[in-house]
């Protein structure tokens, strides 16, 4: 990972069920960084357009309560699906709301995904997710808005957060290997619950092409932001 080596103080927002991102984000940030996590309440089902408005309202309220005046460098809004389901304009709108409420710059995982893939010049990618086909279509549309096409995609089709939480790094690696192909110039593993820290560099070496995940992209994008004075 390139960027400043200065430690960062990050306010992380993730769904209440997320057990992966805090640890893996900290592992990818510069040494000495600190991650303060706030978990956003949600139901047992995966996020969709019907449940998203209440989820977003909770996120804004919690950011105001926990992160305003907390001496942080930035906020990482670490829910991939909540970003891309909103679409590019909705994701940008939420980032603006969080920033206004806290006075902090905001990185969203959905936008970090696009920034990272654009950075490596990816145009046709392979994607692995845990989502339903309908949600995957919204992910593909978000990427397409950034000039990135999905050549191949496969999914665990997790029916709920319990099933999502049981997916292991070995299972992610196996599905990534089955999905990546010579016609793809990068791999992206979507969802900040999926564990990727232990496997991503190995997949990149194996494929000889860039490999990104939601958490890795978020850390990379966070490191590009100027620190708050």
What's the whole-model pTM score?
Answer: 0.94
Quote the CA–CA distance of 59 and 77 in Å, as a whole number.
Answer: 9
Helix, strand, coil distribution of the chain in percent, nearest 5: 45, 20, 35
Q: How confident is the model over 93-132, as pLDDT tens digits?
A: 999 999 999 999 999 999 999 999 999 999 999 999 999 9
pLDDT band per the 50, 70, 90 thresholds, residue 229 = very low
Q: How confident is the model over 41-82, as pLDDT tens digits?
A: 976 566 777 778 888 899 999 999 999 999 999 999 999 999
pLDDT band per the 50, 70, 90 thresholds, residue 8 = very high
Residues 128/189, Cβ–Cβ less than 8 Å: yes
Q: How confident is the model over 144-172, as pLDDT tens digits?
A: 999 999 999 999 999 999 999 999 999 99
Closest CA to 10 of 30, 27, 31, 33: 33
β-partners of residue 76 are 12, 107
Quote the CA–CA distance of 52 and 61 in Å, as a whole number.
Answer: 14
Quote the CA–CA distance of 5 and 29 in Å, as a whole number.
Answer: 8
Walk me through the domains of the chain, giving residue ranges and CATH numbers: 9-109+216-224 (3.40.50.12500), 112-214 (3.40.50.12500)
Does the pLDDT value for residue 204 go beyond 70?
yes
Does the pLDDT value for residue 188 go beyond 90?
yes
Q: What is the reported pLDDT for 2?
A: 44
Q: What is the reported pLDDT for 193?
A: 97
pLDDT band per the 50, 70, 90 thresholds, residue 227 = low
Q: What is the reported pLDDT for 49?
A: 75
Percent of the chain scoring above 70 in pLDDT:
94
Quote the CA–CA distance of 153 and 19 in Å, as a whole number.
Answer: 24
Does the pLDDT value for residue 33 go beyond 60?
yes
Does the pLDDT value for residue 24 go beyond 50?
yes
Quote the CA–CA distance of 174 and 67 in Å, as a whole number.
Answer: 38
Q: How confident is the model over 191-203, as pLDDT tens digits?
A: 999 999 999 999 9
């Amino acid at each position: 990972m390139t960027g400043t080596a200065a430690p960062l103080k990050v306010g992380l927002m993730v769904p209440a069920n997320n057990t992966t991102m805090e640890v893996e984000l900290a592992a990818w940030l510069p040494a000495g960084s600190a991650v303060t996590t706030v978990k956003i309440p949600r139901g047992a089902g995966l996020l969709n357009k019907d449940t998203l408005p209440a989820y977003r309202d909770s996120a804004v309220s919690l950011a105001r309560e926990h992160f305003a005046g907390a001496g942080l460098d930035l906020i990482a809004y670490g829910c991939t699906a909540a970003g891309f389901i909103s679409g590019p304009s909705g994701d940008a709108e939420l980032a603006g709301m969080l920033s206004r409420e806290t006075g902090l710059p905001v990185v969203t995982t959905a936008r970090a995904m696009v920034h990272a893939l654009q950075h490596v010049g990816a145009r046709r990618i392979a994607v692995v997710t845990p989502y339903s086909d309908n949600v995957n279509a919204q992910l593909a549309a978000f990427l397409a808005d950034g000039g990135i096409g999905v050549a191949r995609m496969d999914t665990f089709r997790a029916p709920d957060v319990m099933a999502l939480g049981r997916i292991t790094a070995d299972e992610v690696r196996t599905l990534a290997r089955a999905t990546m192909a010579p016609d793809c110039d990068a791999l992206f593993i979507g969802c900040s619950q999926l564990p990727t820290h232990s496997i991503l560099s190995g997949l990149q070496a194996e494929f000889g092409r860039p490999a990104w995940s939601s958490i890795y992209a978020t850390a990379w994008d966070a490191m590009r932001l100027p620190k708050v004075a």
